[in-house]
Amino acid sequence: MDIYQEKLVKDILVPHALENVEMNYEPESVTRLKGGGGICRPRYPSSCEYIRVTTPKGYEVGFWSSLEWEEDGEVLGAILGLTELVAEHGSEIDKRIEKEIPHDRTSKHFVVQSSS
């Protein structure tokens, strides 16, 4: 990872993952990323009200509501950039997240299911 990516992981992705480690979502469809991780969204027939990007172990490192991408076209660039980072460095990001999970807190590892 370059210096910018290192800072992004440390300052934004790891804290986001830790804040959302126990979040539960309705059934989702998942588009798998090369190298693991995925782009998660509500399963059809639900409307696509959000998109989440997850690491290979299922930690959420990005979340955008439909209102965000409707109001700001740059959100799409952020989503695509994050998916590229996770596809290339997802396992390393998982290790950094798990290193920060307090030992007295139950860590929740998600099994991201493929869409049917």
Half-sphere exposure of residue 104, counting CA atoms within 13 Å on the CB side? 0
pLDDT tens column, 57-100: 999 999 999 999 889 989 999 999 999 999 999 999 999 999 98
This prediction has a pTM of: 0.84
What distance in Å separates the CA atoms of residue 101 and residue 97, rounded to the nearest whole number?
Answer: 7
Q: Could you tell me if 55 and 68 are in contact, meaning their C-beta atoms sit under 8 angstroms apart?
A: no
**Per-residue model confidence as pLDDT tens digits over 11-49:** 999 999 999 988 989 899 999 999 889 999 999 999 999
SS3 content of the chain, % helix, strand, coil (to 5): 45, 20, 40
